[in-house]
Amino acid sequence: MKIFCVTLFFCFSQSYGWDYKKKLFPSDFRFGVSTSAYQIEGAWDEDGKGESIWDRYVHTHPEVIADGWNGDNATDSYHLYKRDVEMLRELGVDHYRFSISWPRVLPNGHINTINEKGLQYYDNLLDELIKYNIAAMVTMYHFDLPQRLQDLGGWTNPEIIQWFEDYARVLFDRYGHKVKYWITINQPDVCFDAYGGNKMAPAVDLKGTGDYVCVKNMMLAHARAYRLFEKEYKSRSEVNAKLGLSVSINWFDAPDYSTSENEELELYRAFSFGLYLHPIWSESGDFPPSVKKAVAKNSKAEGLSKSRLPELTAEEIKMLKKSADFIGMNHYTTFFVNKTESGVRSGLPYSFPDIEVHVSQSDKWLPSKSAWLKGVPYGLYKSLLYLNRVYNRPPIFITEHGWSTDPGLHDTSRINMMREYSRGLLFSLEDGTDLLGLTVWSLMDNIEWTAGTSERFGLYEVDFDSPEKTRIPRVSAHYYKHMIHSRIVDEDWKLKNLDMSISNRRQKILANKKTEL
């Protein structure tokens, strides 16, 4: 029975007393795992690859990396992609989300120099996936801009809209028949870190201006790629793909968990994800009116002639509207947002310009290895309810969701969180949410940007010290495999003879450099 929930209470009362063993994920619900190029490939200057903004940033500022490990070698997936696909087969996933490194295929960012060896690498990976019937979900841009384009202003130069479209055409031409889901851009909110501080490359501090210009250009680049795909590729007989944008959609609540509407909360949600969803999924299109108003007001008070948030033309608004087949949702955690005395702007997780609120997390929530990431399973469920209400039940694919720990194979906290959050997905499916699938971040430990290897997100542990970057399944890999296979959220699952099994396997793995689950 599909019922659209009006209130949270109604939903939970509907679901109360569920026997989880009887609640199946529908047969067309897709399970997968996710990675990104810089975080796993390594081979940063091999076979003609160009320099990316991350290569430049970590080489010129090694001090920003928590533990000295960077993407130069990462997990060496440039050479070990066959082992990666073997792990996907062990897990039994339906799809694998990975990203293409723009400078690996176009070393200077432009289409006048194509690196055939780089293109061949992704052909090899895609062919390996096809061989084992694993659908490819390919992100075209996941933070690693060619440095050459950054030298021209990067995402603050409007020419990038054309550069991105050119790049997209190269990818559609070459891989169009091998890809099931395209993600144009991962998390455009990276603009606030990349051009508004020092957390993400290129770490240019243009807070309050560069960040907004970046957002506008990224959104338009996305829309141009969608329109190109729609016009020239989608109807081809060999092409069978959907295209979306991945947006960071965490949950934001009032400190008393109240669901009542309040202006700061709504404004923070609008700054946090409405900025990217409203132009595509709302009836009216354009950036959210509340954000436009807030930035315009501050800009005027500062004596500027125009808002620091650049306007979209009528034509651009039209191009952006409905420019996606699904919402790519990256969800990790929840924050409390409340009013603050003026002057103090937001704290965690991002300090957005133009909004004065206090952002915090409860000390009752389960901590992970990452300061910003607390286990709050109800938040995923509530954000899905919210998206249904505000955007009229859009198709949603969870393109990232995960948990960080210390090194070690016994990742009980990851299993508990996977179980609890997945229950929320079952609730949401019961509500009638158009939920296409779950993509767990991440297949294996990798380079967590400036956190290096100090925050482990992998279902597989990676031994970064070993020349082979040995990958070993954590207990959570076994749990996810069980979930995919059984299609239930199992309360009682235990790995049989857990300790024995893991240590035996570890010996075997270390001896053979690989394993089967």
Stretch that binds ligand NAG, among 68-76, 288-296, 379-387, 429-437 (CB under 6 A): 68-76
Nearest distance from C-beta of residue 338 to ligand NAG, angstroms? 4
Residue 293's CB: how many other CB atoms inside 10 A?
Answer: 15
Pick between residue 339 and residue 389 the one whose CB is nearest to ligand NAG.
339
Match 């995923």 to its residue by tokens.
380
Beta bridge partners of 398: 329, 438
The alpha carbon dihedral of 276, 282, 284, 289 has a sign of negative
* Cα 66 to Cα 189: distance, rounded to the nearest angstrom: 22
Q: Using CB under 6 A, pick the residue from 46, 72, 165, 166 that binds ligand NAG.
A: 72
Pick between residue 338 and residue 351 the one whose CB is nearest to ligand NAG.
338
Q: At what angle do helices 160-175 and 116-131 cross, to 10 degrees?
A: 50
Burial of 324 (0-12, 13-18, 19+ CB in 10 A): buried
Q: Using CB under 6 A, pick the residue from 79, 227, 358, 506 that binds ligand NAG.
A: 358
Q: Using CB under 6 A, pick the residue from 39, 70, 383, 470 that binds ligand NAG.
A: 70
Pick between residue 215 and residue 357 the one whose CB is nearest to ligand NAG.
357
Check residue 356 for interaction with ligand NAG (CB under 6 A): no
* Cα 37 to Cα 103: distance, rounded to the nearest angstrom: 11
Residue 445 vs residues 5, 257, 404, 405: alpha-carbon distances, Å: 37, 33, 9, 10
Compute how many residues bind ligand NAG; rule: CB under 6 A: 9
Nearest distance from C-beta of residue 65 to ligand NAG, angstroms? 9
Pick between residue 26 and residue 343 the one whose CB is nearest to ligand NAG.
343
Check residue 433 for interaction with ligand NAG (CB under 6 A): no
Both tokens of 137, joined, read: 């979900």
Pick between residue 285 and residue 452 the one whose CB is nearest to ligand NAG.
452
Pick between residue 337 and residue 425 the one whose CB is nearest to ligand NAG.
337
Nearest distance from C-beta of residue 414 to ligand NAG, angstroms? 26
Helix (H) or strand (E) holding 336: strand 334-339
Check residue 345 for interaction with ligand NAG (CB under 6 A): no
Check residue 300 for interaction with ligand NAG (CB under 6 A): no
Using CB under 6 A as the binding rule, the residues of this chain from 146 to 165 that contact ligand NAG are none
What is the rounded radius of gyration, in angstroms, for the C-alpha atoms of the chain? 22
Nearest distance from C-beta of residue 427 to ligand NAG, angstroms? 27
Q: Using CB under 6 A, pick the residue from 198, 360, 416, 454 that binds ligand NAG.
A: 360
Which residue in 214, 212, 220, 218 sits closest to 304, CA to CA?
212
Residue 311 vs residues 148, 162, 217, 293, 398: alpha-carbon distances, Å: 27, 19, 11, 12, 30
Pick between residue 89 and residue 358 the one whose CB is nearest to ligand NAG.
358
Buried b (16+ CB within 10 A) or exposed e, 432-460: ebbbbbbbbbbbbbbbbbbbbbbbbbbbb
Q: Using CB under 6 A, pick the residue from 59, 61, 117, 339 that binds ligand NAG.
A: 339
Helix (H) or strand (E) holding 125: helix 116-131
| SS3 (DSSP) at 265 | helix
Match 């109604």 to its residue by tokens.
10
Check residue 262 for interaction with ligand NAG (CB under 6 A): no
Match 């009682």 to its residue by tokens.
492
Q: Using CB under 6 A, pick the residue from 255, 289, 367, 408 that binds ligand NAG.
A: 255
Backbone angles phi, psi at 109, to 5 degrees: 90, -25
Nearest distance from C-beta of residue 361 to ligand NAG, angstroms? 8
Nearest distance from C-beta of residue 258 to ligand NAG, angstroms? 12
Pick between residue 466 and residue 501 the one whose CB is nearest to ligand NAG.
466
Q: Using CB under 6 A, pick the residue from 15, 338, 351, 454 that binds ligand NAG.
A: 338
Check residue 73 for interaction with ligand NAG (CB under 6 A): yes
Using CB under 6 A as the binding rule, the residues of this chain from 450 to 479 that contact ligand NAG are none
Check residue 62 for interaction with ligand NAG (CB under 6 A): no
Positions that interact with ligand NAG (CB under 6 A): 70, 72-73, 255, 336, 338-339, 358, 360
